[in-house]
Every structure is written in C-alpha cells, then in structure tokens.
Structure 1
Amino acid sequence: MNISRSHPRPSPRRGLRSLQARTRALGLLLLTSLVACGQDEPPSRPSIDESSARELSVGKLVGFTSEDGAHVWRGIPFAQPPIGDLRWRAPRSAKAWAGTLEALEFGSPCIQYAGPAGRSEGLEDSDTLGSEDCLTLNVFAPPSTPENAPTGSHRLPVMLWIHGGGNSIGSALLYDASRLAVSQDVIVVTIHYRLGVFGWFAHDAVAGANATAEDQSGNFGTLDTIAALEWVQEHISDFGGDPERVTVFGESAGGSDTFAMLVSPRAAGLFHRAIVQSGSGDLIKLEAAQNWIDDTESGHVHSSNEVLLALLLADGTAADRDTGRQTITSWTPTQVSDYLRGKTPTELLSLYGGGFGGMYDTPKLIRDGVVLPKLDPRESFSLGAYNAVPVIFGTNRDEVKLFAAFGSKDVARIGIIPLWFKNERMYHLTAEYGTKFWKARGVDEAAAAITSAGRAPAFAYRFDWDEEGKMLWFDLSPLLGAAHAFEIPFVFGGLAFGPVTDNIFPESSRPAARILSDQMMSYWGQFAYTGDPGRGRDGNLPQWKNWGADPGQFLIFDTPADGGLRLSAETLTTQTVLEQIANDDRFETSKERCTVYWDIYRFNGRLSLEEFKTIDGGICKDFEGA
C-alpha cells in the first residue's frame, strides 16, 4: 500500500495526531508481528476457481486462485473441534464432510487475547479473539487442474509453516504463501494450533481414567502440529504434494515448535527437513508445569495447580490460598475435570493479563517424557536422540530491538510511540547482548550439537537487513535494524507491512530488498527439494555450506550495500557471550553491565539468581533490580 505524500502542510496539532496515528500503526503491527501478510485488512471472500476442485478421502473441496497465481484452499479441518470433553485432550481425526467444502475463508484463529490486533474489530486488548474450534489448515500450491496435478515422482515438496506469537497469540491468517509456492514450485501448508493455556496444560485430573499417554502429556498444541503433519501424510498427494519431502518451518514460537518436532518421538517419520527461524528451543520441565510454587521443586507461577487455585479464588469458591488447596485436595479427579472444563475461555484468560502484544506467560512445550523427551533439545541433539533430518537454524542480527523499541527505558516515548533515543549507546548494547544469547542458544549451540552427533547436516544463517526508512524524523534503521520477525516478509516474498510499508521499505531500498527476498526464497525452496540449500533453486547463488565446513559456519543475508550474501565464522556460546559482557569497555559503569546481566537472568533463563549475584566477581550483588 502506497501512502500519498502530496498533502497540504498540516497544523502542528493535526501533525501530532498524524504522527501518533502512523507511529501507533507501526507499533501495533510490529507488536503483533504482522510482517508476513502484505494485507491492510482481512481478505474478502474470493471467487471459486473450479480448476481447484479436489477430492480427498474425507470429502470434496474447491478453492480459488490468488493474486499471485497460486491455487489456495483455506479453512480445511484437520482434527475434530477440541471443545467440551475434547478440551485438553490430544486431537482426534477430523470427520468426513458431506457435499463440497468451499475452502475460501480461513478458519477461526485459536482462542487468545485480542491484543492490538483486535482493535480493528473494536475489541479491547484484554478481550478474547477467536474460538476453541480452530484446528484448520490452509494449502497454497502452483495452479493445476485435477487432471494434471503432479503425481508420482513429479509431486512437489511440501513446506508446513508454524506461526509465531509466543505460543499464546497469532494465527495463519497473516501469512500469504502464494508467492513462495509459485516461485519455488512447492506446496505450502499453514496451520492453526491451540495456544497458551488451551494448548499446554498438564494436570492429571483433566486427562481422565481412559486417557491415552498423549492426553496425559499436557502438550496439546504440540500434538496439534503433529496431527497436521499426519494430515499432510494422508492427503497432500491429492494436491500434488510429495509426503516423502515435507519440511517443517516456523518463526519465533513457531521456531521453538519446530525444535519440538525435531525431538518428539511422535513426529518421527512425518517430516524430512526443518527450518528454525528465531526459535529458542527452550522446553519446560513437567514439574514446573504442574507443581505448586512452594513445592520443593517449585512450579511455574501459572502451573496447572496454580491456575486451578486462582480460578477457585476468582469465582469465590475459596476465600484464600489455604482453603483453596483444601478444597482441591477434597475433590475427586472428576470434580476437578468438570470444574476446569466448565470454565469459559474468558474466565481462563482472565487469570493472566495480556503482555507484549497480547502474549502471556504460561508453561508451554512440556518435557513430559512421552510427546517431548525429558532432556533439553540440545542434549538430545548431541546424543543423536532426535528425528535426524537436515536442519537450518537462524536468527536476526537485532532480534531484541523489536521488543526494545516499544519497551526500553533508553527510548523516549509517548505511550508506545518512540520519539528519540535517551541513551542510544545502552540501547544498542542491551539489544546486542540479548540477541547474542538468542543466537548462541537457538542457533550455534544447537547446530554444533547436531553436527557433533553426525546423523544429519545442520546449516545456519543470520539475517542482517536493516535498510528501513523514517517515521518523520526518527530513523527506523537504528531503532529496529534486523529486528525479530523482519525476515518473514523476505521468506514469503510479500515485502509488506500494511499501512507502514513505505516506512519500512522506502522506495530507495525496495529493489535490493526484492532481490534479497528472491535469494532467500530460492535457498528455502532448494532446501525443501533436496535437504541442502546449496546454491539455491537456480544454482547461481553462493554455496551455503553446512555447519562445521571450512571456511565459515553460517550464511549472512544482506544486500550488496552492506556486504551481501557471505559466510561468517563469528560463532557464539553462552559462556563466550558472558565473557564478552565482562570484557566490553563500552560499558561505562558496573550498573550498566549489571543491567545487561539482569536482562539475561530475567529473559534468557541462562543465569540463576545466585549466578547473577556472583557473576563477574560479585559486581551485581547489590543491583537494585535484584
């Protein structure tokens, strides 16, 4: 969407309102990571294209042709609605439908806080958005009639996308995979999966007497993704896809969900390559997901027992913590189950309070020992105890700046609107080390562990593009840089941020950005075909070598103005990042250094409180944040 610049000069008051509106639009779009849609509003209902008619074993369906020329089928159910008694149970196979499904509209997002994304629908941030009946997927494919759809050895590779959003917000509605599918001659599937407390909740009582091991795992959102992969195995051939060449890829929480696919025994054989974009791979212990916060092994503040107690206090069933625990002890498992399943989504979500963009903190990706192993993924990788397929791991050079731009004390703001830097040096330092920890954990240590096991190759990248424009006087390049999620429009080919597209992609940077997007799609497509990104689909790009190859460990994605595509050996570990902080002379005081350590303790989980207080000779023992 082009924003006209040929307006009369506004009055100062009108100019401020215009600045606030446009900057707020930028903030809200970035807060909800609406970077892949390329749409300014929800898409209207398209017209049926009869050439997209397909017949599956569960029923007939018909889709449409997108503006980029792909055949698209939306809102296909891949599991039964997880409502009523199926809340907090493993997904059950979808039932057949009668007649022809007009697959023209997306299924409902899974239930979540409305957050900033809901304001276009007149919702408050704390309102709920979506439905528990949400287990649908969407298929994007190069166009073909039923008669000439690829078959046999001509079937196309499949790429299954897992959206991000902290595993508590987000949906597939934001991602138009048409350009990726058509340009790379692949089939892309995007999915919905249960989020937050509906997707991950481990409590013995809700499983029931006849529960399966999966029902008891608490990993329902993870099992939804596995169910979508099972659907692909059964039905994707009807769309011309090859069930023997399936790539799982996802960003942020979707990247961590991809980590989960790599280590889940239940996902074995359902996919053949994986791409982790900005995923941490951090899974939580079962004890943390279940225990009370005052147990010997402390539970998460929103563990299943703590949630149950909070509900009793909220509705007046219990007057205080002690009587609430006594009530829970006196109830049978059936009473507990009936009570929890009787709560509405609004009642459940009211316990949390939406955080950044509507995200909220609850135990997710639970190391239950059935769906997900008890070990940390990197330990599983190093032991070779994982689904050994080729993997790409990557992060963006300035991941943390997406969050810092709207939350750092080093930026002056009105509300969430950034105005100018208060301390630009510390803004960059804090973002740099937060991002380095992200890379060490989510890329370098993971790729090194897989390489050491020797069962499958690992590849790595860093996304460095930072050629944004301005929001009036504020240069967005230093504020955002190569921020979290900014690689998504390059991977999907949309290069759009809705009403602020001209600010993120000014005319001067757009041609080079388009070339970089084409290069990234080419590598992703080649990886989907062969399990090796190589030189891209056309064979004309620099060779992307696997981790451990000489020279370089990972590929940097950037435009020629900033060095272009190139290999780098600047690898990191948790320990080397801590050493860099200790020896970095850009910090002017111990308090500044401790501020970065404190952020690592709070957000990265790689330091205990005791380690924080004793690190670097104990310089942080009296830090006011602790």
Structure 2
Amino acid sequence: MAIGFEGVRMTKSWLIVQIALLAVMQACALITERPAEGLIVHITKGMISGKTDGEIEAYLNIPYAAAPTGERRWRPPADAASWSGVRDGTQMGPACPQPVRLAVVAGGVANFQSEDCLHLNIWRPKGAADLPVMVWIHGGAHVIGSGTFPIFDGTQLARQGVIVVTINYRLGALGYFAHPALTAEAEADAPLGNFGLMDQLAALRWVQTNIASFGGDPARVTVFGESAGAVSTMTLLSMPEASGLFSAAIVQSGVNLLPPRSLTEQEALGLAAANAVGLGADATARDLRATSADDWVTVAGVRSGGSVNPFIDGRLLRAPPYRGFADGEELDVPLMIGANSNEASVLLAMGLRPEIATAYFGDQLTEAETVYGLPATDPEFARQALGDIWFVAPARWLATETSDGAPSFLYHFDYVAERRREKSDGAAHGSEITYVFDTTEYYESVVGELTPSDRVFADGLSACWASFAKTRQPQCALVPGWGGYDPQRDEVALFAPETRIVAGFRQPILDLILSRYDDLPH
C-alpha cells in the first residue's frame, strides 16, 4: 500500500469515503498556476510547454515511452514517438489502469485512467541550472497509484532547490504478468513479465537523456520511493541494468526480504487470471491482447495470489533483490532507509490476518511477548509486531548490509500531526509522504487542519530529503549530526515531535525478528 494518516482509525469505509474529497482535490491540483507564454522546453522527441506560479515551473504528462496498447501490451516499453509542434504540458495525464475505489489508499483518485499512461511530470525552479534531480516511484502494492496524484505534487519540494520527477508505470496484471503464450513469443534474451519494472528503467533512461534540458544534472539523480515504490527502488539497486541511471536512493517503508515468485509460479497465476477473463489454457498471445484492460484490473486479486511484486524471470531479475545486498553486489550508492512507527494499521484494516504475527515468532513467541510487554492475544501485539517484521527490522537489515560501502542513513518516522496525537497509534504507513513533498494543503483537505509547528516540520523534512539529493549527506536542521549507519553504534534518526539521534534503537525485538529470517545471513 502507499498511504495512511496518523490518528485516523483505518477502516475500509473510511478509505472509500475519502474518494469524493480526493476527486475534488485532484481536479483543483495546481489550479493557481498559469500557462506561461514562451515557457517551452526542447527535448529529444519535440517541444513541451509548461506553466508556472512565478517561481516553480511544471511540465506535465510527458511521454517517456510508447503507449503499451494493442500489440504493445505485455511487451517491454518502446521509445515514444516524436511529435511536431508544441505538446501541451500544462495538464496532468491519466493514471495507469487500476481499481478506482482503492486508489485513495495511494494518495489520489484514478478516475481518469488509460493504458496510454507511460508519462512523467517535472517541476523545476525558475532558471534551474545543473540542479540535482529527485525521481519519485509511487507506492500502491504495484496495483494502484500514479505520479499524477496530488500528494506527489512536486511544487513545494522543488522550492528546496531540486528538480522533481514523478512517473507512472504499469500496474497489476498489466504490469506484472506472465503466461506461457507470452513467454513462447518473447525473443530469447527479452525480459519477461516485470513490465512495471521495465517501465521504471525506461523512465530513468529518459531522465538521463532529457533532464539537462530542464536544468537538471543527470549525474545527480536520486531515486526515491515508498512502499511498492521502495520495493522497486531496492530492486533497481540490485540490478546491473540500473547502473549509471541514478547516483543515490531513498527507500521509504519497503525493504522486501520475502522470496520472489519464480517464472513458473507467475505463469500459473497468469493462467488462472486468463481463465477468470474467459480464456482457456490454450489461449494465444493474440487472444490475451484482444481482451479489455478493464478485465485485467478486475482480476488483479485472482492473478496475484494476494500480492503483486517483481518476480524472477531469469533475464531481467535473476535473483531475489536482497541476495544482491547480502552478497555485496548491489549498486554502491548512498542510501537513506527507514520505516514508520505504525506501519501495520492500514494493512490490518485492509484484511491482513493478525495471527501472522504469532506464527512468525514460532517457539520464540513467549520471548516476543516479554519484549513487547503484551500477550499475543492482544490486537496491539499484532499491530506492533507486523510493523516491525515487515518494515522496521528489514530497514535495519538493509542499512547494515550496505554500511561497508557508500554511506547509508537509517531513520524511523514517528511524527504525528499535533492535533491528532491524542488518538494516534503512531505514524501510519505512508504518512511521511505529505511531509516529504510538503503537500500540506492536500493533507488538510483530507484529514484536518495542521498547526504552525506541523508546517515547520513539513518544511524541515522536505529540506532534509532535498539535502540528501544535493550532497549525498542529509543536512537536516531537524536532526543535526545524522551520520552514516554503523551497526556497532546502531544510531537512528528518529523523526518525532522531538527529533533526535537514538543509539541502539529497539535492539531486543529487532534482533529477535532478524534472527528468524530464513535464507538470509545474520
């Protein structure tokens, strides 16, 4: 998933109620900005117009690859076609196909969507020259989300002196899909199935080729993502194909230490999904492509077996991403890594079974109960433990594995808006995003009014993330002296109402959790 709000009791009904509010917000995004005559940038495929608020310029809905429609569905992304004249870059384009009612969880409403969605958006300060670039990969369980959503509006973050890029990539069964018929038609060395991941690579290549035209420095590109976007970022870090496409990365609540599916397993899910749309086991690639995109959105749950993630196709993704880090073969770039204090609340609200927490600890359950100070039968045990198992402990693992190369900086996010703290269980999954992007108007339209202190914190966190993109070392007024992670000191930047550096952060329970991971070095 991608976003939760601190202090809000997460229920399915609450998530659905927000759709109307988000639709209004999305329709009004950047409404105060105006098209500017002469605000035109020349890029490799043509000219694109933009708009400005006087300080920040926005260039929206720029195609970085050809539309993956018709015969191009379930194929690697191809170059976008050139265009003549000036392309209008003043309006957001469509989201990729996804379940509309769930998109609110990813920070917006995808009521405007199309398979022709491989577009990106750029915000830059007026007069930008050789500025660092931040490329955002949105979350949403690889099923929902879009770079067009208002929570990812790059206007405020760009005020920190960076260029911000948000991208779309294919989702669900259109983005992560394998089927024997598609495998049979693919060229011998062509990557299989991980089309969303291929799209992300294509977008990063586009940035390398074109970002200088917007005043960006292609040698200083930071990829950052949350949840599924963080899983994607971690996956890219493990891939030789991504070498040279970025020089730093930020992984927010998405260090995935679960074994990916194999191509065989993914093909079996693809056959089940095809059956759900009325196609037999003998369906051809042409048969598959003749179906409606809407059919594949509705069967996403059937074909995913409960989750959608990059899988081992043997060509693009050859091993679990965590294996590259464990073996020291990851791209050696500076990293920021972290998780939030209330990660599991949104997952439990969406149907995650709390007994998974007790099953995880096995014969060490009593020890876990002692450390948490809670019986395993208490719902609070599941909320705390699942957040630690899936997010907090893996973040420390990744920081440890990368600590002997380029510096890694580990954080824990526990900031809750001032007026919501009394009823809060902590910072929910994705709640840091509105502070990173400083999209406080979006927050207030959905959740409630922020205080001046909250706004100061948002500006400070946004500046912190931007400083990492600028210098590869977070220069944070919120938390001075935040240094590279050293497993011996185990120092974590704790972003909270009283932000500070904490040594030995929650060591007993995180040590216990990490000791139980299978197939990982300890």
- TM-score over 0.5 (shorter chain): yes
Please name the residue that 1:56 is paired with: 43
- Unpaired runs of 5+ residues, structure 1, are 1-21, 292-298, 318-323, 411-422, 471-475, 581-604, 609-626
Please name the residue that 2:172 is paired with: 196
- Deviation, structure 1 residue 540: 8.1
Aligned positions of 1:398-477 closer than 5 A: 398-404=342-348, 426-451=378-403, 454-467=404-417, 469=419, 477=422
Let me know the Cα RMSD of the aligned residues: 3.6
Please name the residue that 1:339 is paired with: 287
Aligned positions of 1:382-393 closer than 5 A: 382-393=326-337
Q: Give the TM-score normalised by structure 1.
A: 0.70
The 1:271–1:40 alpha-carbon spacing in structure 2 relative to 1, beyond 3 Å, is closer
- Deviation, structure 1 residue 430: 1.7
Does the alignment pair 1:185 with 2:161?
Answer: yes
Give CA deviations for 1:80-124 in whole Å, capped at 9, x if unaligned. Answer: 0011111111111111111001101112100111115589xxx9x
Please name the residue that 1:564 is paired with: 499
Is the 8 Å Cα contact of residues 39 and 498 (structure 1) preserved in structure 2?
A: no
Q: How many residues are paired up?
A: 484
Distance 2:238 2:276 in 1: 38
- Deviation, structure 1 residue 164: 0.7
Of 224, 227, 234 in structure 2, the residue corresponding to residue 259 of structure 1 is 234
- Deviation, structure 1 residue 578: 4.6
Distance 2:199 2:124 in 1: 22
Please name the residue that 2:195 is paired with: 220
The 1:32–1:190 alpha-carbon spacing in structure 2 relative to 1, beyond 3 Å, is farther
Distance 2:104 2:485 in 1: 42
Please name the residue that 1:96 is paired with: 82
Does the alignment pair 1:545 with 2:486?
Answer: no
Q: Secondary structure of the equivalent of 1:361?
A: coil
- Deviation, structure 1 residue 577: 3.8
Distance 1:253 1:132 in 2: 20
Is the 8 Å Cα contact of residues 89 and 207 (structure 1) preserved in structure 2?
A: no
Is the 8 Å Cα contact of residues 103 and 145 (structure 2) preserved in structure 1?
A: no
Is the 8 Å Cα contact of residues 73 and 138 (structure 1) preserved in structure 2?
A: yes
- Deviation, structure 1 residue 48: 1.5
Is the 8 Å Cα contact of residues 402 and 480 (structure 1) preserved in structure 2?
A: no
Q: Give the TM-score normalised by structure 2.
A: 0.82
Does the alignment pair 1:497 with 2:497?
Answer: no
- Unpaired runs of 5+ residues, structure 2, are 1-9, 355-374
Give CA deviations for 1:176-200 in whole Å, capped at 9, x if unaligned. Answer: 1111111x20000000000011111
The 1:513–1:492 alpha-carbon spacing in structure 2 relative to 1, beyond 3 Å, is same
Distance 1:33 1:283 in 2: 36
Q: Which moved more, 1:276-285 or 1:341-350?
A: 276-285
Letter in 1 for 2:207: V
Give CA deviations for 1:256-295 in whole Å, capped at 9, x if unaligned. Answer: 11101101111111000000010132465452xx43xxxx
Of 511, 516, 520 in structure 2, the residue corresponding to residue 576 of structure 1 is 511
Please name the residue that 2:357 is paired with: none
| Higher RCO (C-alpha under 8 Å, 6+ residues apart) | 2
Is the 8 Å Cα contact of residues 284 and 365 (structure 1) preserved in structure 2?
A: no
Please name the residue that 1:278 is paired with: 253
Distance 2:508 2:376 in 1: 26
Aligned positions of 1:23-62 closer than 5 A: 26-28=14-16, 39=25, 41-43=27-29, 47-62=34-49
Give percent identity, aligned residues only. Answer: 31
The 1:286–1:549 alpha-carbon spacing in structure 2 relative to 1, beyond 3 Å, is closer
Distance 1:477 1:540 in 2: 23
- Deviation, structure 1 residue 56: 1.3
- Deviation, structure 1 residue 143: 1.3
Distance 2:103 2:69 in 1: 24
- Deviation, structure 1 residue 47: 3.3
Distance 1:247 1:142 in 2: 17
Q: Secondary structure of the equivalent of 2:35?
A: coil
Distance 1:478 1:263 in 2: 40
